Amino acid sequence: MTAFAKCRIKGPKAEEFLDNLVANKLPKKVGRINLCHALNTKGGVHSEFTIMRESENSFYLVSAGAYQRLDHDWVLKWMPTDGSVQFENLTNSMGVLVVSGPKARELMNRVSNDDFSNENFKWLSAKNIDLGYAPINAMRVNFVGELGWELHHPIEYQNHIFDKLIDAGKDLGLKPFGIRAMNSLRIEKSYKLVGTELSIEYSPYESGLDRFVHPNKGNFIGLEALNKWREKGFDNKLVTLEVHDTTDSDVLGNNPIYKDNKVVGRATGGEYGFRIDKSIALAMVKPDLANVGEKLKVDILGKMYEATILEESPYDSENNLLRA
């Protein structure tokens, strides 16, 4: 099984095509990774891709498994038809297992002879490694804000890799984790999810993607509309909230946000953050209220709770753990 959609874009004009497709700059060096967003023609966020440069004319793209058809159709819609760019769907042929946590490097050193030191294997980079009998493209990225690697591999090796990891990690307290745990961890990092914080209804600036948008790099799909939208002004701003005095429930999503008894926004998602021991939510609110320390209220199951806007990424805000 695999939780990601994956494809390869290659050909003599692959870089030119992708540069026009996404708002961020592409990785320049082989083995480097960038988070990139494809906008629609109106400037909203259509898709999110993790893009790794495999070679001069080949790129490996990873996106949300639930949006495979949406993302891949969007790529194919804009791809030239003259053969200068080729698309290869790898979703079913490549599996992915994620190893993350403070002991991730110790575990990887047990199952592979490759060098996982920070000096040799930096954050946002990828390398081909061996794990048991399995060839793996190890990518030092993850969606939970901890030291870790995504292990991309031919799907037929997945059981072998899983068994090797579980056996080697018994005394390290290694446990499988699922989507609800991942959601809690990503919200503590203010990481955005496609379909909630990221949407064609919101510009990338409203969703806090400023550092992933490079309007001066050259033209890309949605840039003209985005510039006009920016001149007009935005209606929303994504914030991170601490919800106070919760006992048996947390924000789920689409909860109304209030200020002085007036609706001023909505929550896009929420969970209990066990690392910081707080109930956390992400929310779109009116830009004039998007200030750290601002006091708001949120409705959870018909009951009003006090909420305070926090700095982005309340857990490890400097990303020291990711870069460790």
Q: Which CATH number do you get for residue 285?
A: 2.40.30.110
Q: What percent of the chain has pLDDT over 90?
A: 98
Q: Is position 2 within any domain? A: no
Q: Say whether pLDDT at 2 is over 80.
A: no
11-38, pLDDT tens digit by residue?
Answer: 999 999 999 999 999 999 999 999 999 9
Last residue of a domain, one of 168, 188, 215: 168
Alpha carbon separation from 312 to 38, 89, 279, 317, 323 (Å, rounded): 23, 35, 15, 7, 18
Q: Which of 33, 7, 35 is nearest to 23 (CA)?
A: 35
Q: Is position 55 within any domain? A: no
Q: What is the pLDDT of residue 1?
A: 52
**Cα 212 to chain centroid, rounded:** 12
Q: What percent of the chain has pLDDT over 70?
A: 99
What's the domain count of the chain?
2
Q: Is position 302 within any domain? A: yes
Q: What is the pLDDT of residue 40?
A: 98
The answer to whether 64 and 7 are in contact (CB under 8 A) is no
Q: Is position 89 within any domain? A: no
116-165, pLDDT tens digit by residue?
Answer: 999 999 999 999 999 999 999 999 999 999 999 999 999 999 999 999 99
The answer to whether 280 and 243 are in contact (CB under 8 A) is yes
Looking at residues 47-64, what average pLDDT do you find?
A: 98
The answer to whether 151 and 121 are in contact (CB under 8 A) is no
Domain limits at 267?
A: 235-324
The model's confidence at residue 3, banded by pLDDT at 50, 70 and 90, is: confident
Q: What is the pLDDT of residue 253?
A: 96
Q: Is the pTM of this model over 0.85?
A: yes
Q: Which CATH number do you get for residue 110?
A: 3.30.1360.120
166-198, pLDDT tens digit by residue?
Answer: 999 999 999 999 899 999 999 999 999 999 999
Q: Is position 162 within any domain? A: yes
Last residue of a domain, one of 147, 168, 189: 168
Q: What is the pLDDT of residue 302?
A: 96
Q: Is position 123 within any domain? A: yes
The answer to whether 153 and 136 are in contact (CB under 8 A) is yes
Looking at residues 1-8, what average pLDDT do you find?
A: 86
Last residue of a domain, one of 144, 168, 192: 168
Give the C-alpha separation, 103 to 51, whole Å: 26
191-236, pLDDT tens digit by residue?
Answer: 999 999 999 999 999 999 999 999 999 999 999 999 999 999 999 9
Q: The tokens 């949006």 sit on which residue?
A: 67
Q: Say whether pLDDT at 262 is over 70.
A: yes
Q: Is position 177 within any domain? A: no
Q: What is the pLDDT of residue 187?
A: 98
Q: Is position 130 within any domain? A: yes
61-99, pLDDT tens digit by residue?
Answer: 999 999 999 999 999 999 999 999 999 999 999 999 999
